[in-house]
């Protein structure tokens, strides 16, 4: 029976599969160390770029979707890190000095230039990152300049850029997929052709969190205006589960870091059952604090035990076997109904509806 949550992914030993997703809870060394102190197995740092990339954030930049007092959805129009890359190099070193046993994943995004992608990636690896995540998926702000989701929606660019990075580093590279696309398996396959070790999915879904009824302006409202942003948290979980399952079915050998809408251990276990070997949490940690990892760990261990899994790895993708086509569901149901009808016909209460001789004949095996 499973008595720990260790998992080896792409040669890296994670003490547990719970990873802080790139975002505010991973935006400098101090906060990353707080996540590790609380017990997270890995952290994906806030996305970085070379220092001359202009990043100017606005305030406010978040909005909530509420059901009564409960937050069910979250939206942000936050850009990638606005800190100089040299500060990040110092932070990566400091984090690895303090937590050598935890998995630190650098997240990089750059413009469509080989030299820039290779430089930011190689310097992240040199500074101590155990792996890299390529941000092909931020849906707001950066796509206006051909970056983020604009690249992730073009499988040729995904393949080419992944290959540039894989050439420049000798640590595992995950490509982070955008859900803002019809078929997520196409850029994922492109990333794998480019040499990625695996994929992460999903980043946020482009959305508008709501219109303020006091002034009829879309939110978050900045100087009286807004722009669509990235939607996350519990409300996106069904879409994330569908996409993680599609990725796992498209390539069972492809390691997937599953992301989207994880608020508790049941959500995390669902992501594992559809194919995630690690599970990332971003908004959950922002709203509940890093301590939520205690419930994630205890809850997933209890679920593994309840369902008789020998270890975490054996649960990865377990529920994929129960997905099929709608056509097949109809056939399965027709078969079941036919069996039920046959069983009904055999019951004693059915005798006497027709001629008794015919009923005897129907139950006799050697009748002509
Ligand atoms: C405020 C905020 C900032 C984010 N910044 C980044 C980022 O810099 N890079 C990135 O790859 N993803 C970023 N994300 C996306 C998350 O890493 C994650 O993919 C997404 O929010 C879905 O997971 P969740 O429902 O657990 O939040 C951000 C998300 C939020 C809410």
pLDDT for the residue numbered 142? 86
pLDDT for the residue numbered 26? 98
**Catalytic machinery residues:** 138
Residue nearest (by alpha carbon) to ligand 1 atom 15: 203
pLDDT for the residue numbered 359? 87
pLDDT for the residue numbered 362? 84
pLDDT for the residue numbered 27? 98
Confidence (pTM)? 0.94
Q: Is 257 in the pocket of ligand 1 (CB under 6 A)?
A: no
Q: Is 75 in the pocket of ligand 1 (CB under 6 A)?
A: no
Which of 204, 258, 281 most suits a substitution to test ligand 1, by most atoms within 8 Å of the C-beta?
Answer: 204
Angle at 62 between CA 56 and CA 63, to 5 degrees: 150
pLDDT for the residue numbered 114? 98
Residue nearest (by alpha carbon) to ligand 1 atom 19: 203
CB 243 within 8 A of CB 249: no
Which of 110, 232, 237, 289 most suits a substitution to test ligand 1, by most atoms within 8 Å of the C-beta?
Answer: 232
Residue nearest (by alpha carbon) to ligand 1 atom 31: 283
Tokens 């794998």 belong to 192
CB 194 within 8 A of CB 188: no
- Separation of alpha carbons 50 and 52, rounded Å: 6
Q: How far is the CA of 236 from the centre of ligand 1 (A)?
A: 12
Return the beta strands (E) in the chain as ranges. Answer: 7-9, 12-14, 18-20, 42-44, 62-67, 70-76, 103-108, 131-135, 173-176, 198-201, 205-207, 211-212, 217-218, 229-232, 256-259, 276-281
- Separation of alpha carbons 190 and 171, rounded Å: 19
Residue 307: phi and psi, rounded to 5, are -100, 10
pLDDT for the residue numbered 15? 96
- Separation of alpha carbons 257 and 12, rounded Å: 13
pLDDT for the residue numbered 335? 95
pLDDT one digit per residue (tens) for the chain, 368 residues: 788 999 999 999 999 999 999 999 999 999 999 999 999 999 999 999 999 999 999 999 999 999 999 999 999 999 999 999 999 999 999 999 999 999 999 999 999 999 999 999 999 999 999 999 999 999 989 888 889 899 999 999 999 999 999 999 999 999 999 999 999 999 999 999 999 999 999 999 999 999 999 999 999 999 999 999 999 999 999 999 999 999 999 999 999 999 999 999 999 999 999 999 999 999 999 999 999 999 999 999 999 999 999 999 999 999 999 999 999 999 999 999 999 888 887 788 888 989 999 988 988 988 76
Overall CATH class of domain 7-322: alpha beta
CB 248 within 8 A of CB 275: yes
Point out the ligand 1 atom lying closest to the alpha carbon of residue 281.
26
Residue nearest (by alpha carbon) to ligand 1 atom 4: 23
Q: How far is the CA of 203 from the centre of ligand 1 (A)?
A: 6
Point out the ligand 1 atom lying closest to the alpha carbon of residue 22.
17
Q: How far is the CA of 339 from the centre of ligand 1 (A)?
A: 49
């Amino acid at each position: 029976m499973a008595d720990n949550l260790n998992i080896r992914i792409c040669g890296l030993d994670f003490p547990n599969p719970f990873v802080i997703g790139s975002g505010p809870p991973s935006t400098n060394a101090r906060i990353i160390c707080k996540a590790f102190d609380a017990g997270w197995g890995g952290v994906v740092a806030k996305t970085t770029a070379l220092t001359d990339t202009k990043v100017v954030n606005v305030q406010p930049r978040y909005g909530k979707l509420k059901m009564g007092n409960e937050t069910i959805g979250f939206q942000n129009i936050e850009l990638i890190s606005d800190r100089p890359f040299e500060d990040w190099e110092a932070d990566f070193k400091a984090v690895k000095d303090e937590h050598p046993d935890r998995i630190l994943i650098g997240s990089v995004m750059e413009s469509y230039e080989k030299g820039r992608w290779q430089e930011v990636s190689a310097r992240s690896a040199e500074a101590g990152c155990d792996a890299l995540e390529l941000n092909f998926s931020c849906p707001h702000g950066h796509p206006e300049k051909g970056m983020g989701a604009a690249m992730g929606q073009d499988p040729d660019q995904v393949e080419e850029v992944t290959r540039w990075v894989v050439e420049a580093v000798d640590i595992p590279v995950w490509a982070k997929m955008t859900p803002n696309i019809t078929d997520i398996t196409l850029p994922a396959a492109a990333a794998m052709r480019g040499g990625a070790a695996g994929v992460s999915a999903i980043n946020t879904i482009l959305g508008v969190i709501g219109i303020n009824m006091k002034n009829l302006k879309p939110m978050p409202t900045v100087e009286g205006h807004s722009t669509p942003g990235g939607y996350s948290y519990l409300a996106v979980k069904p879409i994330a589960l569908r996409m993680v399952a599609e990725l796992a079915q498209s390539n069972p050998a492809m390691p997937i870091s599953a992301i989207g809408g994880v608020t508790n251990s049941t959500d995390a276990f669902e992501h594992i059952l559809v194919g995630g070997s690690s599970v990332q949490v971003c908004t959950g940690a922002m709203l509940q604090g890093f301590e939520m990892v205690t419930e994630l760990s205890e809850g997933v261990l209890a679920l593994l035990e309840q369902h008789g899994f020998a270890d975490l790895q054996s649960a990865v993708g377990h529920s994929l076997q129960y997905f099929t086509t709608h056509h097949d569901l109809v056939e399965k149901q027709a078969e079941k109904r036919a069996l039920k009808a046959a069983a009904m016909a055999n019951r004693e209460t059915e005798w006497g509806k027709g001629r008794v001789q015919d009923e005897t004949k129907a139950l006799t095996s050697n009748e002509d």
